[in-house]
């Protein structure tokens, strides 16, 4: 059930007690004759029923804004140091807190500062500066666990608890606007597509260059069981979670995504709800295809490695090896995202209704937007040695070890055609490898 506030809990208890007292008082009035009037006419001397006194107390309870006495709580002042000295003199400290470089941070401010959500035109309720609100949101995106609860973030950053929540919501709304989101997460240009195809060719064979995209699913755990159809969110890893589908290129950039389904949904099911399966004719022309793992349904435009028992047949293990050489970049992309924004390892959002599902979804999208944005503005950072990337690799490796290998029961009409194509591209790989071996032998 959804959590109740302390005021709601006390109100329910008082109402229940009033109902019981009303019944008892009515029974007592029937059993006892009324007392004679002493003639004083003093109403104050008349004993009021306890139920009436409790009702007055309930009215008083709802008549005050704060249930407990307000206290002055000394708070930290990390934000002042973070946006001042550390931003200019210690960019590595700045990046460890907010997960982006100072240059990327300034570019993000420029991208969202004109959003109307930061301009309420109020003379009495001025908002915090946009850079402060952005810092609050990025700090929450980049951390997880009990230490990133609203209360502890507020105490550490020196802000009111309500201010932390409002700032985060405003920044998420600004990042998820079409103007910002579509600029950060977009389909590759022809030049970018060619670079991706060259990378695939180098890792496999020329015939495989048209398989320049990868898809992989990941789960974003929730810290508590959702009250909104809770069992539907229970995943195969015994967590409550969101299912997220990421379509990426070999440079680890996210170009499309699918999100919103609960973690109990199989990747093959969640994948069918995304854009690419419904528009593959337009998005993957001229025989292009996308790589996936064996949990996805094999189709003419979606290639996956062989599963048991077929993977044990001659040649199939070698085929799977080269598929893994290409497909591993999709796991790297997931790891890089979770390494940068640790909140995606355990999201502290309660799913109590449809609105909270939407908020959790937009939280994940906002993280993806900033991640792609940072990759563009931080090209000078070596990805293979980036702390976020290395942290993320540990995360995805741990997830892979914990997850059971599930079979995807793909029995649609395209399976036979897809099998023929997989055999064809496998043969193309072997011919290429044989030709290379012959050339080396001739030399």
First-to-last alpha carbon distance for the chain, in angstroms, is 74
For the ranges 48-57, 62-71, 217-226, the one whose mean pLDDT is highest: 217-226
What pLDDT is attached to residue 257? Answer: 95
Query: Cis before residue 406, ω within 30 degrees of 0?
Result: no
Q: How many domains does the chain have?
A: 3
In terms of domains, do 166 and 262 share one?
A: no
Residue listed under structure tokens 């019981």: 20
- The token duo for 443 is 């030399």
* pLDDT greater than 50 at residue 391: yes
- Which of 141, 158, 175 lies at the terminal end of a domain, its last residue? 175
Segment 120-143 shows an average pLDDT of 88
Asked if 164 and 152 count as a contact pair (C-beta separation under 8 A), the reply is no
- Tell me if 267 is assigned to some domain: yes
Asked if 294 and 305 count as a contact pair (C-beta separation under 8 A), the reply is yes
Q: Which range marks the domain in which residue 21 is found?
A: 1-30+47-65
C-alpha dist (Å) from residue 350 to 1, 74, 226, 234? 11, 28, 6, 14
- Quick one: residue 131, left, alpha or beta (phi over 0 = left, psi -120 to 50 = alpha)? alpha
What pLDDT is attached to residue 408? Answer: 42
Q: Report helix, strand or coil for 351.
A: coil
In terms of domains, do 54 and 151 share one?
A: no
Segment 66-82 shows an average pLDDT of 71
* DSSP code, position 113: T
In terms of domains, do 396 and 298 share one?
A: yes
Average pLDDT of the chain, as a whole number: 86
* pLDDT greater than 50 at residue 407: no
Segment 259-284 shows an average pLDDT of 90
What pLDDT is attached to residue 2? Answer: 54
Rounded Cα–Cα distance for residues 323 and 326 (Å): 5
In terms of domains, do 274 and 369 share one?
A: yes
In terms of domains, do 401 and 344 share one?
A: yes
Residues in the chain: 443
What pLDDT is attached to residue 65? Answer: 64
* pLDDT greater than 90 at residue 368: yes
Across-strand partners of 257?
246
The percent of residues above 90 in pLDDT, for the chain, comes to: 54
What pLDDT is attached to residue 402? Answer: 65
What pLDDT is attached to residue 35? Answer: 56
Across-strand partners of 247?
215, 256
In terms of domains, do 161 and 223 share one?
A: no
In terms of domains, do 135 and 222 share one?
A: no
In terms of domains, do 236 and 332 share one?
A: yes
Segment 67-86 shows an average pLDDT of 76
* pLDDT greater than 90 at residue 123: no
In terms of domains, do 186 and 296 share one?
A: yes
Burial class of residue 84 (count of CB atoms within 10 Å of its CB; 0-12, 13-18, 19+): exposed
Task: Report residue 211's pLDDT band, with 50, 70 and 90 as the boundaries.
Answer: very high
What pLDDT is attached to residue 185? Answer: 97
In terms of domains, do 126 and 250 share one?
A: no
The percent of residues above 70 in pLDDT, for the chain, comes to: 87
In terms of domains, do 346 and 421 share one?
A: yes
* Helix locations, 32-113, DSSP H: 50-62, 78-81, 87-89, 91-98, 102-112
- Tell me if 70 is assigned to some domain: no
Q: Report helix, strand or coil for 329.
A: helix
Q: Which residues are within 8 A (CB) of 367 and not within 5 positions of it... i.e. 6 or more apart?
A: 141, 337, 340, 341, 343, 344
């Amino acid at each position: 059930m959804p959590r109740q506030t302390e005021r709601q809990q006390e109100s329910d208890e008082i109402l229940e007690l009033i109902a019981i007292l009303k019944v008892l008082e009515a029974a007592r009035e029937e059993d006892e004759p009324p007392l004679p009037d002493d003639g004083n006419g003093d109403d104050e001397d008349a004993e009021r029923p306890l139920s009436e006194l409790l009702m007055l107390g309930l009215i008083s309870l709802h008549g005050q804004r704060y249930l407990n006495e307000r206290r002055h709580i000394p708070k930290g002042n990390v934000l002042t140091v973070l946006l001042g000295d550390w931003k200019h003199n210690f960019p590595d400290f700045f990046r460890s807190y907010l997960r982006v470089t100072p240059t990327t941070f300034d570019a993000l401010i420029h991208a969202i500062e004109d959003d109307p959500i930061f301009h309420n035109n109020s003379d009495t309720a001025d908002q915090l500066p946009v850079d402060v609100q952005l810092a609050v949101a990025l700090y929450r995106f980049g951390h997880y666990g009990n230490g990133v609860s609203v209360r502890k973030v507020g105490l550490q950053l020196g802000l009111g608890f309500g201010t932390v929540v409002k700032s985060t919501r405003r920044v998420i709304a600004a990042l998820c606007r079409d103007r910002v989101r579509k600029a950060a997460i977009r389909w590759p240009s022809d030049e970018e597509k060619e670079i991706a195809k060259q990378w695939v060719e180098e890792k496999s064979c020329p015939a495989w260059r048209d398989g320049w995209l990868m898809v992989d699913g990941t789960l974003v755990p929730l810290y508590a069981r959702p009250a909104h159809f809770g069992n539907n969110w229970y995943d195969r890893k015994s967590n409550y979670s969101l299912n997220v589908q990421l379509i990426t290129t070999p440079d680890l950039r996210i170009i499309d995504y699918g999100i919103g389904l609960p973690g109990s949904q199989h990747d093959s099911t969640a994948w069918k709800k995304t854009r690419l399966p419904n528009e593959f004719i337009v998005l993957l022309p001229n025989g292009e295809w996308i790589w996936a793992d064996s949990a996805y349904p094999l189709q003419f435009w979606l290639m996956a490695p062989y599963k048991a028992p077929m993977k044990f047949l001659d040649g199939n293990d070698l085929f799977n090896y080269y598929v893994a050489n290409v497909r591993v970049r999709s796991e790297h992309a997931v790891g890089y995202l979770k390494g940068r924004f640790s909140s995606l390892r355990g999201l502290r959002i309660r799913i109590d209704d449809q609105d909270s599902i939407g908020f959790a979804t937009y939280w994940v999208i906002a993280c993806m937007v900033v991640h792609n944005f940072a990759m563009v503005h931080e090209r000078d950072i070596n990805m293979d040695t980036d702390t976020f990337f290395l942290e993320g690799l540990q995360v995805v490796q741990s997830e892979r070890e914990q997850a059971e290998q599930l079979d995807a029961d793909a029995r649609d009409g395209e399976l036979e055609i897809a099998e023929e194509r997989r055999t064809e591209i496998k043969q193309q790989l072997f011919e290429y490898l044989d030709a290379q071996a012959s050339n080396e032998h001739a030399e």
